[in-house]
Amino acid sequence: MFTEVTHNTSVTLVIRGGASQYIEESARSLNDAIMIVLRAVKSHAIVAGGGAIEMELSRFLREHLRTIKGKHQLVINGFAKALEIIPKQLSENSGMDGTDILNKLRQIHTTKGEEGRWFGVNALEGGVADMFKTFVWEPELVRLNVLTAATEAACTILSVDQTIRNPASEQNQAAAAGRLDGTSQPPGKGRGRGMNMGRGMRMMQGRGGK
């Protein structure tokens, strides 16, 4: 910790917590916050956060559907629907109704044009708001990388046309399932029960004969 420095360009952050995992999580969150601010300062372009850019892209894709034909419409419509998961999840994590917030954002982005382009989920006050005016910004490069990585992951999953099976693992799972539902019993357990039942039957027959 550097103190009494006239021209100090470094900052010391002291993190405290009740457990080591809390301190580590706080350190990771703080590092993410510092890095995103650094990226925003170095970047030459920013976009509004709160799911605003995802809603605008979804609106653009839905309008683009009118100009194409064939099965490509289903693919583009699925991509547009997937983009809306971001603002919906943000609203649900903030304790709001995701469907209601999503409908409001769709209406604003469709009807208001340029004025409603940057409307997103306002998690602090609840509802929707212009994210640019509320200073919720994200670097353009970060959003491009996120969309690219998500698209590549989805394409990789869709390109898998064969399932790899492990016979040994399946046998172990079947054996474990048999032990759980009680179908497999230790040898000799049922034999003693049968002998006891047989003795009881003979005793009852003997009494009836007397």
Architecture label for domain 45-157: Orthogonal Bundle (1.10)
Average pLDDT over residues 103-113: 90
Look at residues 186, 51, 145, 56 and name the one whose alpha carbon lies nearest to residue 108.
Answer: 56
**pLDDT for position 9:** 77
- pLDDT higher at 176 or 204: 176
Confidence label for 3 from pLDDT (cuts 50, 70 and 90): confident
- pLDDT higher at 193 or 43: 43
Which pLDDT tens digit goes with each residue over 47-85?
998 999 999 999 999 999 888 888 889 989 999 999 999
Average pLDDT over residues 183-188: 51
Looking at the chain, the whole-number percentage of residues with pLDDT higher than 90 is 35
Print the SS3 string covering the chain.
CCCCCCCCCCCCCCCCCCCHHHHHHHHHHHHHHHHHHHHHHHCCCEEECCCHHHHHHHHHHHHHHHHCCCCHHHHHHHHHHHHCHHHHHHHHHCCCCHHHHHHHHHHHHHHCCCCCCCEEECCCCCCEEECCCCCCEEEHHHHHHHHHHHHHHHHHHHCCCCCCCCHHHHHHHHHHHHHHHCCCCCCCHHHHHHHHHHHHHHHHHHHHHC
Query: Does residue 206 carry a pLDDT above 80?
Result: no
Residues 6+ apart with CB under 8 A from 28: none
Query: Does residue 179 carry a pLDDT above 70?
Result: no
**pLDDT for position 203:** 47
**pLDDT for position 24:** 93
**pLDDT for position 197:** 47
The values of phi and psi at residue 21, to 5°, are: -65, -35
**pLDDT for position 210:** 41
Which pLDDT tens digit goes with each residue over 15-37?
888 898 999 999 999 998 888 88
**pLDDT for position 119:** 94
